[in-house]
A and B are shown apart, each in its own frame.
Chain A
Amino acid sequence: MSRELKFVEALQEAQDLCLERDPSVYVMGLGVSDGAAMFGSTKGLVEKYGPKRILDMPVSENAMTGVALGSALTGMRPIMVHLRLEFAMLAMDQIVNQAAKWHYMFGGQASVPMVIRMVVGRGWGQGAQHSQSLHSWFAHVPGLKVVLPATAYDAKGLLISAIEDNNPVIFIEHRWLYNMTDKVPKGMYRVPLGKSNVLLKGNDVTIAASSYATIEALNAAKELEKEGISIEIIDIRTINPLDEEPLLESVKKTGRLIVADIGWKHAGFAGEIVSRVVEKVYQYLKEPPIRITLPDVPTPTTRALSNFYYPLPSDIVSAVKKLLGKAAESKPDIKPEDFLDVPYLEFRGPF
């Protein structure tokens, strides 16, 4: 049965169902069992499963990731949660040197069924260290699966697949998706890892995107539809392993590619997508591809600057028009004092 659920509720439900079904699943993270419950994504779980399985932990990200790994090697399925992605960086040794390699370097004898959830912050002045999406880093490392859901439906189905997967999965959740709603069936269902999704069918321009950039691409597509421009959106829900077929097929049809990403441009995921397309279906391209990303500077705190840091749906609209040789509309008049630091006006800090 479908009902509307928020993205955050879908995450909670996925974990709840897996915890209920499989006693080897447990959740750990700083604050997973506190009153705020990771922005609500672990709400009610400690009451149902107790403080052992919903484990609050010392601020020791590196060792705790190692503990999770050691437990995964010996029969458990840990879900580790970081309220901001940046805290996972303290555990890069355990994630990159150990978890990613364990299966391969021991000749396939052991596996690491483990999910690391990381929230990408944005808005209300998150600043340089509460806002980074380093999915490109993680995707660069062989042995890590990297998943970025954009809808509540996918959030639930992908998280269940990630928990059931026998590999380390980096699960990246954009904070601005948390309150967005979607039709979400009750009960268990799986969205397979490593499958891109044609989220919107169209003929004129292909937009490859993931996470919150997918939502912005959808918004741009709605605008463009009014002008009779038809956009195809490929939601790259798993960036490693990457399912490139739907993307290549789409570019063969449209001949035009935009990649919208929530990360930086240099040496990043958007560049990887462009490379794949250029290497494999170059002859179909009618125009050079365009990347819409963050500028290569750290995230500023004041909205007077962050208003110009994050791309807007209007940037996607302009890029589409450029590819189609249409007159670009005049840039929206953004003022430093505008409240572009929130997804909607009710979204408040301080946290």
Chain B
Amino acid sequence: MSDLYDAIIIGCGVTGAWTAYELSRYRLKIAIVEKENDIGCGTTKANSAIVHAGYDPEPGTLKASFNVRGNELIRGRAKRMAIPFNQCGSYVIAFDTEGMNSIIQLYNRGIQNGVPDMKLLTAEEVHKAEPNLSDDVCGALLAGSAGIISPFELCCAPTEVAVRYGADLLRNFEVVSMVPDEEKVTVTAKDGRVISGKRIINAAGLYADDMAKMLGDTSFKITPKRGEYSILDSNVYGIVDHVIFQPPTKAGKGILVSPTVDGNILVGPTSDPIDFKDDLATTDDGQKRAFDGARKSVPSISERDVITSFSGNRSVGDQGGDFICSISSSEPKLINLAGIESPGLTSAPAIAEYAAGLLRQSGIEMVKRESFDDTRTVVRFKELDDFNKHEIIQNNPSYGRIICRCETITEGEIIDAIRRPAGALDMDGVKRRVRAGMGRCQGGFCGPRVMEILSRELGIPMTQVTKFGKRSYMVIGREEL
């Protein structure tokens, strides 16, 4: 690959994806390199899935402005880009005077940050709206602009738009070296692929410090902090209608209880330092703390309703708690977008706008395309009314074949998820895009059928179908025994 890219984005998580999207407004040659078999496999896929209002960050920080701006951008774009989003609002609840003081502080901070639609609620108002909250709740801060989102779709949608505009998405591209010269940086992958670009945009999440180091920038360090979550069965959906936060502490925003856009309830996260960036194990102790914390807000929450648990690792920077978004002081061809911890998901579209500015500032000529269309249509069979269900099956019978029984996902949707730009290449990729296997049976029934569809669509034998790339194979042939 001898072609010179204008920019190489390292990491196709939510930050890299939105940056690629933003740069697609311009006539630029872009590559996004991703070390995994799919996009959004790091912090993007495992977090609280919340579009924060923006009252948490210190006024004047990048976090504060990106959060509020990101919230506004997501609210404006979600529908057009077919990103499941529900502006359900959030509560920060208080249990005592100290808590009340802290939510009043948050309210004032929100005003400074320009957060719209906030209101302080009395105990009576809170209990009327959320009857399952603890009797100890004595007031709350309501933020009407907060919502819940599908984090993976928030990454998938902008990636698709970028790929539609010609960005190259290179998967399983684990960067092992970067060598700068006068005009470019040469990037080499573990498997030997080599590409070069005029600028490097470092959106490598947990590994952003390792990437910067390859170009001699040791100005920051990323420390992983693990958060454990559990997903509860859809039969407890409705136990709360808003995102329920506890007053923030030094450790973070505390344990939350939240509905999800998929109709489940999310409980978590814990906040624990860990030694390895890829340590995504769940623990008995962590799960217990998550549930004990959640029960403080909603006493009837029970482990009995868990359908699955997971961990996500936050990319915590060391620059006074703010995002690190700047042209590197040691390598002018490097733009760092690092330390993207909470509210990183919400901020991503705004970080991307800022990144485009940094790219221009770094000396890249940026010419806008005449038009830019980011609309996206995704068929979600379950959400269609009966008339449209019938219609779509008439046009394409594969929508009449239900593969995932728990979530009512059709073969048509799975084929589409594989064939779309930046489509699914593995079981988890299908699961994240269409939810097949995410329901109660966790893929028990549909697993073998999804494997068959992947095998057929990708033209690979069943033995090469993986859960998430690399050596995560699903089955072996009889001849291998």
Q: Do A and B come from one complex?
A: no
Q: Which A residues are within 8 Å of any B CB, using their own CB?
A: none
Q: Which B residues are within 8 Å of any A CB, using their own CB?
A: none
